[in-house]
């Protein structure tokens, strides 16, 4: 079976800096792929390449066998790849509901249909009670969830989650983990960047590890936990985090 | 309350429509026509600058192209200048698409600067393209359609009603959501599947077309245009921005309220002998005051205004 997404020999240079260097891996339909690595390892850059914000300096990205690495972000989203932002980007002076309606329009012919999708997604992400709030008034935890809600409203096949758990308190964390599991149950494939080791080990089917822009390991959580390269690069310093 | 709000535009339209019947002076009718014409330009600018967040300092370009479409069709084509209204839709939208292609890849202040330049370039072009525009001599419409102002009033009122209705429809539809999303965060909008280049161009074209229609009306109504008037940076481009800022950016009624205030204010200032010449200075100061105290305009800062009114009153 061909993978849903495949990243092939992707490099991304910023001036002299190789934020990504010859990275290859693929994501199978239906799985949760964890992407980990120390700060500055190139994780967000990789999302920006997949999502079309950056055109890779070298290499290609394929989604369902179609090359997407030359397309604009809006096209890539249209094909079924949605993302969230590590530094949240709410549409500040729009209500929570309007934020999600704006993205639900992608697959809706009428406004009524967009409103229906948006309401359903807000209910799923536990934001329905806040729907009439201006999104700039939301606390961080809910803004992170609004990112997820907006991405879901575009009815993606693959969703890229960039540190959706960072800065959450334990109860919010639990809620978000339930949401991720719910997304998987809907048949949506997930790629997730996360620093929280316990969480990522628990929810990922497979994990890819980046370090200084290079893919240093790939495998099941148990394999990653035992990988000496990973331990020195990442887990070693972060064991108790 | 909700019902009342729904019928408010119709009520105001009806009220305005019967106004000439009660016998207004020619001067009062002229002021009213100017207010309504500026509302149209303000509503048009609001669509692009207020909702879509692409602030233009060069709307005189579209006003002028509309005005000159009417002027040239009359002076060179030998047809009625009224043909300028439908024709301006074609010319202005093509022109706006070209401008969009050049300027809309720029963001924020860079876009604003580019539109500023376009406005100036057009004025200079109109001044020098004498074979088409008669240059500084301007174009005079010799046969006026109506002596009375009443019919001009009804024409501009109809145009304003259509503009108001269409802007409202657009803003409440998919387009409106996309415009505001682009204003709030272009990268986020792009990643939500919104083709930002396309929708910014749509906003620009719609905005330009309504502005151009007002320009074409202006030619017919005033009977005379020259480049310094219809491509004016201060008296058109800047005044347009002030109309919207004073009334309320990204509100339906803001441009209407703003144009009432701006037109009346301009009349008052011009009538004061010494101050008249310095009206640009005065407008500049006014703009600064507005930005500081009512950054969201009268409609946008309504709650704040109401609070200010209540201060000093016994509770
Ligand atoms: N637009 C850019 N221009 C220049 N350098 C960039 C750009 N984007 C990222 N970088 C650099 O690329 C490297 C990788 O950054 P990236 O944001 O992808 O890291 P990350 O793995 O997401 O880190 P974190 O865990 O802190 O979010 C960093 O050194 C960063 O400074
Ligand atoms: Mg990052």
Question: Is residue B279 domain-resident?
Answer: no
Ligand 1, atom 8, lies closest to the CA of A45
**Which has the higher per-residue pLDDT, A11 or B20?**
A11
| B256-271 confidence digits (pLDDT tens) | 999 999 899 888 887 8
CA of B191 to the centre of ligand 1 (A): 19
Closest Cα to residue B29, out of B143, B155, B215, B139? Answer: B155
ipTM of the complex: 0.92
| A3-27 confidence digits (pLDDT tens) | 999 999 999 999 989 999 999 999 9
Q: How close does chain A come to B202, measured CA to CA in Å? A: 16
Domain boundaries, position B178: 25-233
Ligand 1, atom 4, lies closest to the CA of A14
A89: nearest CB among B177, B178, B185: B185
Q: Mean pLDDT in chain B? A: 89
Say yes or no for a CB contact (<8 Å) between B180 and A106.
no
What class does CATH assign to A5-88+155-235?
alpha beta
| B82-100 confidence digits (pLDDT tens) | 999 999 999 999 999 999 9
CA of B184 to the centre of ligand 2 (A): 22
Say yes or no for a CB contact (<8 Å) between B189 and A91.
yes
Predicted confidence at residue B291, as pLDDT, reads 79
| B172-193 confidence digits (pLDDT tens) | 999 999 999 999 999 999 999 9
Question: Is residue B315 domain-resident?
Answer: no
Number of structural domains (chain B) is 1
CA of A13 to the centre of ligand 1 (A): 11
B173 shares contact with chain A (CB less than 8 Å): yes
**Would the pLDDT of A205 be above 60?**
yes
Pocket of ligand 1 from Cβ distances under 6 Å: A 14, 17, 19, 37, 39-45, 86
Share of chain B above pLDDT 70, in %: 97
Q: Mean pLDDT in chain A? A: 92
């Amino acid at each position: 079976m061909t993978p849903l997404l495949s990243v092939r020999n992707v490099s991304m240079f910023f001036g002299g800096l190789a934020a990504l260097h010859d990275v290859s891996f693929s994501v199978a339909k239906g799985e949760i792929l964890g992407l980990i690595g120390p700060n500055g390892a190139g994780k967000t850059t990789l999302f920006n390449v997949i999502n079309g914000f950056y055109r890779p300096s070298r290499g290609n990205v394929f989604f369902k066998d179609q090359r997407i690495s030359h397309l604009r972000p809006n096209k890539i989203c249209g094909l079924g790849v949605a993302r969230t932002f590590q530094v949240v980007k709410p549409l500040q002076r729009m209500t929570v509901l309007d934020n999600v309606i704006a993205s639900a329009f992608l697959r809706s012919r009428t406004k009524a249909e967009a409103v229906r999708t948006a309401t359903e997604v807000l209910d799923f992400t536990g934001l329905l009670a806040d729907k009439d709030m201006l999104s700039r008034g939301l606390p961080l935890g809910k803004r992170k969830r609004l990112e997820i809600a907006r991405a879901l409203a575009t009815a993606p096949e693959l969703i890229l989650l960039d540190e959706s758990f960072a800065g959450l308190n334990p109860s919010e964390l639990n809620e978000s983990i339930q949401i991720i599991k719910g997304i998987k149950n809907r048949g949506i494939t997930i790629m997730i960047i996360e620093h929280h080791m316990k969480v990522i080990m628990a929810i990922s089917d497979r994990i890819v590890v980046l370090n200084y822009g290079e893919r240093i390991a790939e495998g099941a959580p148990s394999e990653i936990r035992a990988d000496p390269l990973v331990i020195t690069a990442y887990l070693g310093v972060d064991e108790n985090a | 309350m909700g019902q009342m709000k729904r019928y408010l535009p119709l009520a105001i339209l009806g009220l305005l429509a019967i106004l000439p019947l009660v016998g207004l002076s020619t001067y009062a009718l002229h002021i009213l026509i100017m207010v309504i014409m500026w509302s149209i330009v303000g509503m048009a600018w609001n669509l692009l600058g207020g909702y879509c967040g692409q602030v233009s300092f060069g709307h005189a370009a579209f006003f002028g192209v509309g005005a000159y479409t009417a002027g040239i069709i009359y002076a060179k084509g030998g047809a009625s200048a009224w043909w300028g209204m439908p024709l301006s839709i074609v010319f202005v939208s093509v022109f706006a698409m070209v401008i969009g292609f050049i300027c809309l890849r720029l963001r924020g202040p860079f876009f604003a600067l580019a539109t500023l330049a376009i406005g100036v370039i057009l004025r200079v072009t109109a001044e020098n393209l004498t074979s088409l525009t008669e240059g500084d001599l301007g174009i005079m419409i010799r046969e006026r359609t109506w002596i009375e102002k009443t019919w001009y009033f009804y024409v501009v009122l109809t145009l304003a009603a259509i503009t108001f209705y269409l802007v409202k429809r657009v803003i409440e539809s998919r387009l409106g959501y996309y415009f505001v999303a682009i204003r709030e965060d272009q990268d986020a909008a792009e990643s939500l599947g919104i083709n930002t280049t396309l929708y910014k161009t749509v906003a620009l074209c719609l905005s330009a077309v309504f502005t151009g229609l007002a320009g074409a009306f202006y030619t017919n109504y005033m009977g005379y245009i020259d480049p310094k008037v219809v491509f004016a940076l201060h008296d058109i481009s800047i005044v347009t921005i002030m109309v919207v800022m004073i009334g309320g950016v990204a509100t339906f009624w803001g441009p209407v309220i703003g144009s009432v205030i701006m037109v009346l204010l301009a009349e008052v200032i011009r009538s004061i002998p010494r101050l008249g010449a310095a009206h640009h200075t005065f407008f500049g100061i006014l703009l600064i005051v507005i930005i500081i105290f009512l950054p969201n305009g009268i409609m946008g800062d309504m709650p704040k205004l109401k609070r200010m009114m209540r201060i000093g009153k016994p509770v």
